[in-house]
Amino acid sequence: MVWIKKECAVLPSEITDERVFNGRRRFIQAAGIISSVSMAPQIFAGTRDTGKVLRYDGKVDHSQIPPGWLVKKLNAAKPGVYSTNEQATPYEYITQYNNFYEFGSDKGDPAANGKDFNSDPWSVVISGEAEITGKIALEDILKPHDLEERIYRLRCVEAWSMVVPWIGFPLADLIKRFKPTSDAKFVRFETLYDPKQMPGQRSRFTSIDYPYVEGLRIDEAVNELAFIAVGVYGNSLPPQNGAPLRLVIPWKYGFKSIKSIAKITFTKKRPRTTWEKAGPREYGFYANVNPEVDHPRWSQATERRLPSSLFSPNRIETIAFNGYGPQVAYLYADMDLKRYF
Ligand code: MTE
Ligand 1 centroid – CA 152 distance (Å):
15
Q: What is the mean pLDDT of residues 51-63?
A: 61
> For atom 4 of ligand 1, which residue has the closest CA?
100
Task: Pick the atom of ligand 1 nearest to 212's CA.
Answer: 3
Q: Is the peptide bond before 313 cis (omega within 30 degrees of 0)?
A: no
Ligand 1 centroid – CA 246 distance (Å):
9
> For atom 22 of ligand 1, which residue has the closest CA?
98
Choose which residue among 259, 277, 289, 300 to substitute to test ligand 1 binding: the one with the highest number of ligand atoms within 8 A of its C-beta: 259
What number of helices (H) and strands (E) belong to the chain? 10, 17
**Any idea where the domains of the chain sit in the sequence?**
52-281
> For atom 6 of ligand 1, which residue has the closest CA?
100
> For atom 10 of ligand 1, which residue has the closest CA?
258
Q: pLDDT for 134-155, tens place per residue?
A: 999 999 999 999 999 999 999 9
> For atom 14 of ligand 1, which residue has the closest CA?
255
What is the C-alpha to C-alpha distance for residues 162 and 104, in angstroms, rounded to an integer?
21
Instruction: Name the DSSP class of 257.
Output: S
Q: Within 10 Å of residue 36's Cβ, how many Cβ atoms?
A: 7
> For atom 19 of ligand 1, which residue has the closest CA?
99
Ligand 1 centroid – CA 200 distance (Å):
13
CA dihedral (82, 85, 91, 92) in degrees, to 10, reads -130
Length of the chain, please? 341
Residue 87 predicted with pLDDT over 90: yes
Backbone angles phi, psi at 45, to 5 degrees: -60, 130
Q: pLDDT for 10-53, tens place per residue?
A: 333 333 343 333 333 333 333 322 222 222 222 222 234 455 56
For 83, half-sphere exposure in the C-beta direction (CA atoms, 13 angstrom radius) is 27
Residue 126 predicted with pLDDT over 70: yes
Q: pLDDT for 293-316, tens place per residue?
A: 999 999 999 999 999 999 999 999
Ligand 1 centroid – CA 254 distance (Å):
6
With b for 16 or more beta-carbon neighbours within 10 A and e for fewer, the 237-276 pattern comes to: bbbbbbbbbbbbbbbbbbbbbbbbbbbbbbbeeebebbbb
Ligand 1 centroid – CA 265 distance (Å):
20
> For atom 9 of ligand 1, which residue has the closest CA?
255
Ligand 1 centroid – CA 187 distance (Å):
18
Q: What is the mean pLDDT of residues 129-136?
A: 98
Q: How confident is the model at residue 60 (pLDDT cuts 50, 70, 90)?
A: low
Checking 14-17 for CB contacts under 8 A at 24+ apart, the result is 14/85, 14/86, 14/87, 14/88, 14/151, 15/88, 15/151, 15/165, 15/233, 16/87, 16/88, 17/88, 17/90, 17/91, 17/233
Give the DSSP H/E element, type plus range, for residue 218: helix 218-221
Ligand 1 neighbours (beta carbon < 6 A) = 98-102, 154, 156, 191, 212, 241, 254-255, 257-260
Least reliable range by pLDDT among 29-33, 187-191, 271-275: 29-33
Average pLDDT of the residues of the chain: 86
> For atom 3 of ligand 1, which residue has the closest CA?
259
Task: Pick the atom of ligand 1 nearest to 275's CA.
Answer: 14
If one looks up domain 52-281 in CATH, what number appears? Answer: 3.90.420.10
First to last CA, the chain: 23
Q: What is the mean pLDDT of residues 277-288?
A: 97
Ligand 1 centroid – CA 45 distance (Å):
31
Ligand 1 centroid – CA 144 distance (Å):
27
Ligand 1 centroid – CA 93 distance (Å):
14
Q: Which residue has the higher pLDDT, 56 or 200?
A: 200
pLDDT at 52: 59
Percent of the chain with pLDDT strictly greater than 70: 82
pLDDT at 61: 67
Task: Pick the atom of ligand 1 nearest to 232's CA.
Answer: 23
Closest CA to 266 of 210, 322, 217: 217
pLDDT at 56: 54
Ligand 1 centroid – CA 255 distance (Å):
5
